[in-house]
Structure 1
Amino acid sequence: MLNLSKNNIPNSVKDSSDTFLQELVSTPKGTHILKRWLLGFFIIFIITLFLPWQQNINGKGMLTALNPAERPQNIQNVIAGRIEKWNVTEGQLVKKGDTLVVLSELKDDYFDPQLPARLSEQMQAKKTALENYQAKADALQKQQEALMKNWELSLEKARNKVKQNRSKVNADSVDVQAEQWQVKVAQDRLQRGVSQERQGIVSLNEMETRRLKVQETQNKLNSVQNKLAISRQELINSQIELNAVNADYAEKIAKARSDRSTALAAFSDGQSELSKLLNKQASVDIRRGFYIVRAPQDGYVVKALKAGIGETLKETESICTLQPINPNLAVELYVKAMDVPLIQEGRIARLEFEGWPAIQFSGWPSVSVGTFAGKVKVIDMIDSKNGEYRLLITPENGNWPKQLRMGSGVYGWIMLDNVPVWYELWRQLNAFPPSLKAAPEEGEKSKKEK
């Protein structure tokens, strides 16, 4: 620099100004550090993109029991009644058959305390009536058999009488013919005697004798003809009597059969009424057993749905809730319909329970803290709610906390196959479903179960 000016700048000033300019132009040390950090983060990000990521399907649900009999159940009364006594308190452990509530009757048909005894008396009376009906039917059956035998005998007797009368008619007819012949002979002799009397061959006395003979034979013919008419009338009467026997006994037998049918009908009605009485007595005995509501299995009384003494209940109305003891826990998890085809039985799931501290890395289950393993046990064949499908997940190796309670909320992940992180990011950005290469093999399932 040329020193043309008289006012020269001191060297100290020069040095300080140069240092200031250099500081303005030079890069700060913090920037270098920031660059190194950014470069490090970039390298880590690139490396992370190629790390393996386990795809998963998430869902929400709650704790339940695998066996429906071990899930919370409402204890219901079978009959309408009035609460007389509570034998349990909420939270109490009860055994199967323990008395929970004592009820009293509400229907006036069952108010009578002696109702079973009175039903027994009615049944005994009905049994006696049935025995009488049976005896009457048996007597009418014997009467009918006796009438049948008498009918046969009476018919045989009437037929014999008809035969006798027919024979008598035949005999009388022969007698009439014989007498008619005698009359003709007598008349012929009389006519010959008339001509002979004119010739003087026959005497007048002989003629009188012949006339008397004609009169006698004519009278005898009339008598025989009357006898034939009587025989014919007796034959007709015997035939009428034969028909009357048929009609009379047919009427008597029909009446006996009708009376027996009436007795058997009354017997059947009595049996029906006796069956109704037996049914009613059994129903009364069973109904009296329903006055005491018992625990169907071991468990805890969770909540009383009816309180107080004297409160009335309808049929099948819930009284309290019972939680069975030591249920086999399972998670009831709901997933979207589009994810169901990707899930098979035996898939491993990671579960996070409400109230249980956890840090979950869904793609890296090995570094998760506070989550628990499960296995898909059941996949419903139909949707449950809002188009979602229900899964039942059971413990894997039985490592779930003992403090878990039914109904607790659960957030779960069904673990699928491993893919690079970059692929998972690309899939999420494009809203593609997870990829599925293969379902768990049976050999792997059995090894895991062992």
Structure 2
Amino acid sequence: MLNISKNKISNQVDLTKLKSGKEIFTKEYHKRFKKFLLFFSLLLLIILFLPWTQNVSSNGKVTTLKPNQRPQTLQSQIPGRIEEWFVQEGDLVKKGDTILRISEIKSDYFDTKLAERTDKQLNSKNLSAKAYTNKISALQKQIAAIQNERILKLQQAKNKLKQAHLKVKSDSIDLKAAEIKQNIAQTQLNRTLTLQKEGLKAVKDVEEKRAKLQELTAKLVSQENKFLSSKNDLINAQLSISSIQASYIDKLSKAESSLYTAQSDAYDTDVQVSKLETSLANYNKRSSLLYITAPQDGYINKTIKSGIGETFKEGEQLVNIMPANYDLAVEMYIQPIDLPLIHTGESVRVQFDGWPAMVFSGWPNVSYGTYGAKIVAIENFISSNGKYRVLIVPDSNDEPWPKAIRVGSGAKTIAMLENVPIWYELWRQLNSFPPNFYQPKNKNDNYKSKEDK
């Protein structure tokens, strides 16, 4: 019925006595619903005040802690041709094990005895350098002998010059004495002539005096000749000194010229010896580069160049190797807005691809299948993907990471921040606010520990 009339049938008929009425009107559904709403409201209120750990989630991948533990490719420093392989993919190699042998493709190094021939050239040049050294020593001795001889010759010439000076002086004295005697004889002759005219002297006396005058005049002329001869000897002695000096200057100049030439040749030989030594060292080193060896213990992942007879350039990748011993780490990338919230030493939860996990990001203690980690490095420059790279390592106080993890596999990370109530986190999410900015209490301790390391 439409219940349009104002007359109610319930006043005339008791519906509760009917079977259907008993099922409908005797049960109080609203009371149960009120109790459910009240219980749910209290439970929701309690949940809103439960603690919630703010976090920054990101994706990453497994890597290694140290750069030398990461996969690497081996290159050849010289161009060559593959001759022989000693390993296959998947093999474990030790440090120094030979991986492959190559051969030269440049015509300058085809000679298999190139190093041996260069060594012979080096020995010959060393002998040549030794000969030049001996020649320099001989020329130095010759120059010293010439200098000593020049000193003696000059001393001898100076002595002769001194003797000539004394001889000139002696002859000049004798000449003066002869002149005096000749003057005396002339005076005596004049006096005798005067006395002979007066009849006091005989003609015989005059003749004796004239003869004596002639004798002394002859001696004077002879002494004058000696004096002039002594002067000539003095001039000759002076010329002899000049000649000796000129002669020995010429000898010394020639010897010194030969010495400088020998020294120049010796220096040039030393340069050639040095070049040959460098070439020999380069050839020996190049010979050792014909064998590509393992730089550390590891596994052969992939041969990039394969086959026999294939040529390659210097620096071209040949084979990929994965180090056998490494320390696992995970690199995660965070948004620039979250960078101030991340600090070294903070805890991070990690979920690895291939390991089942039930993650409750706000309650890390009840998350299943995640593993603990610590932040050890934060990149200071943004990466090409527009995010900052953060490196994390296993937490020694937590459960160890699975041993079957391989480098390069994927991972999801949850960086733990500040603990806040759930109602605050909901309010923050609805308003799109960033997590609370805070500084860890042990930030200075972290810096000190890094400096100590």
Q: Give aligned-pair identity as a percent.
A: 41
Letter in 2 for 1:278: E
TM-score of the aligned structures, taking structure 1 as reference length: 0.84
Q: 1:29 to 1:68 in 2, by over 3 A?
A: farther
Correspondence 1:253-268 to 2 at 5 A = 253-268=252-267
Q: Distance in 2 between matches of 1:416 and 1:268?
A: 73
Letter in 1 for 2:245: N
Correspondence 1:38-437 to 2 at 5 A = 41-193=40-192, 195-196=194-195, 198-202=197-201, 206-385=205-384, 388-397=387-396, 399-428=400-429, 429-436=431-438
Q: Secondary structure at the match of 1:270?
A: helix
Query: How much has 1:53 moved relative to structure 2?
Result: 0.3
Instruction: Please say if residues 147 and 253 of structure 1, whose CA atoms lie closer than 8 Å, have aligned partners that are also in contact.
Output: yes
Instruction: Please say if residues 377 and 392 of structure 1, whose CA atoms lie closer than 8 Å, have aligned partners that are also in contact.
Output: yes
Letter in 2 for 1:402: K
Q: Distance in 2 between matches of 1:30 and 1:273?
A: 112
Query: How much has 1:81 moved relative to structure 2?
Result: 1.1
Q: 1:152 to 1:326 in 2, by over 3 A?
A: closer
Between 261-270 and 409-418, the greater mean CA deviation after superposition: 261-270
CA RMSD of aligned residues (A): 3.3
Query: How much has 1:248 moved relative to structure 2?
Result: 2.2
Q: Which residue of 2 aligns with 1:5?
A: none
Query: How much has 1:382 moved relative to structure 2?
Result: 4.1
Q: Distance in 2 between matches of 1:40 and 1:184?
A: 172
Per-residue displacement from partner, 1:213-249 (whole Å, max 9, x unpaired)? 4444333322222221111111111122123223322
Letter in 2 for 1:235: L
Per-residue displacement from partner, 1:335-390 (whole Å, max 9, x unpaired)? 23443333333211011223333332211112222221111122334444455332
Q: Distance in 2 between matches of 1:228 and 1:155?
A: 25
Q: Distance in 1 between matches of 2:28 and 2:274?
A: 107
Instruction: Please say if residues 81 and 312 of structure 1, whose CA atoms lie closer than 8 Å, have aligned partners that are also in contact.
Output: yes
Q: 1:235 to 1:68 in 2, by over 3 A?
A: same
Letter in 1 for 2:440: A
Per-residue displacement from partner, 1:194-221 (whole Å, max 9, x unpaired)? 5445545455555455445444433332
Q: Distance in 2 between matches of 1:394 and 1:326?
A: 16
Q: Distance in 1 between matches of 2:370 and 2:28?
A: 45
Q: Distance in 1 between matches of 2:440 and 2:134?
A: 82
Q: Distance in 2 between matches of 1:370 and 1:142?
A: 92
Letter in 2 for 1:53: W
Between 108-117 and 427-436, the greater mean CA deviation after superposition: 427-436
Query: How much has 1:319 moved relative to structure 2?
Result: 1.1
Q: Distance in 1 between matches of 2:437 and 2:45?
A: 23
Q: Which residue of 1 aligns with 2:5?
A: none
Instruction: Please say if residues 56 and 415 of structure 1, whose CA atoms lie closer than 8 Å, have aligned partners that are also in contact.
Output: yes
Between 195-204 and 114-123, the greater mean CA deviation after superposition: 195-204
Letter in 1 for 2:133: Q
Instruction: Please say if residues 182 and 217 of structure 1, whose CA atoms lie closer than 8 Å, have aligned partners that are also in contact.
Output: yes
TM-score of the aligned structures, taking structure 2 as reference length: 0.84
Instruction: Please say if residues 347 and 440 of structure 1, whose CA atoms lie closer than 8 Å, have aligned partners that are also in contact.
Output: no
Q: Distance in 2 between matches of 1:204 and 1:31?
A: 204
Between 76-85 and 305-314, the greater mean CA deviation after superposition: 305-314
Q: Distance in 2 between matches of 1:308 and 1:390?
A: 39
Between 300-309 and 323-332, the greater mean CA deviation after superposition: 300-309
Q: Secondary structure at the match of 2:376?
A: strand
User: Which ranges of structure 1 fall in alignment gaps of 5 or more residues?
Assistant: 1-9
Query: How much has 1:331 moved relative to structure 2?
Result: 0.6
Query: How much has 1:172 moved relative to structure 2?
Result: 0.7
Q: Distance in 2 between matches of 1:33 and 1:307?
A: 78
Q: Distance in 2 between matches of 1:423 and 1:218?
A: 151
Q: Distance in 2 between matches of 1:32 and 1:71?
A: 67
Q: Distance in 2 between matches of 1:165 and 1:50?
A: 133
Q: Distance in 2 between matches of 1:71 and 1:345?
A: 22
Q: Distance in 2 between matches of 1:73 and 1:60?
A: 24
Q: 1:358 to 1:255 in 2, by over 3 A?
A: same
Instruction: Please say if residues 340 and 437 of structure 2, whose CA atoms lie closer than 8 Å, have aligned partners that are also in contact.
Output: no
Q: Which residue of 2 aligns with 1:3?
A: none
| Matched length | 430
Q: Distance in 1 between matches of 2:33 and 2:322?
A: 61
Among candidates 429, 438, 441, match of residue 439 of structure 1? 441
Query: How much has 1:403 moved relative to structure 2?
Result: 2.3
Q: Secondary structure at the match of 2:169?
A: helix
Between 378-387 and 130-139, the greater mean CA deviation after superposition: 378-387
Letter in 2 for 1:128: L
Query: How much has 1:29 moved relative to structure 2?
Result: 8.8
Instruction: Please say if residues 83 and 101 of structure 1, whose CA atoms lie closer than 8 Å, have aligned partners that are also in contact.
Output: yes
Query: How much has 1:102 moved relative to structure 2?
Result: 1.2
Query: How much has 1:186 moved relative to structure 2?
Result: 2.9
Query: How much has 1:15 moved relative to structure 2?
Result: 8.7
Query: How much has 1:119 moved relative to structure 2?
Result: 1.6
Instruction: Please say if residues 297 and 325 of structure 2, whose CA atoms lie closer than 8 Å, have aligned partners that are also in contact.
Output: no
User: Which ranges of structure 2 fall in alignment gaps of 5 or more residues?
Assistant: 1-8
Instruction: Please say if residues 344 and 439 of structure 1, whose CA atoms lie closer than 8 Å, have aligned partners that are also in contact.
Output: no
Instruction: Please say if residues 56 and 434 of structure 1, whose CA atoms lie closer than 8 Å, have aligned partners that are also in contact.
Output: no
Q: Distance in 1 between matches of 2:28 and 2:83?
A: 88
Q: Distance in 2 between matches of 1:98 and 1:210?
A: 128
Q: Distance in 2 between matches of 1:364 and 1:219?
A: 149
Q: Which residue of 1 aligns with 2:6?
A: none
Q: 1:71 to 1:187 in 2, by over 3 A?
A: same
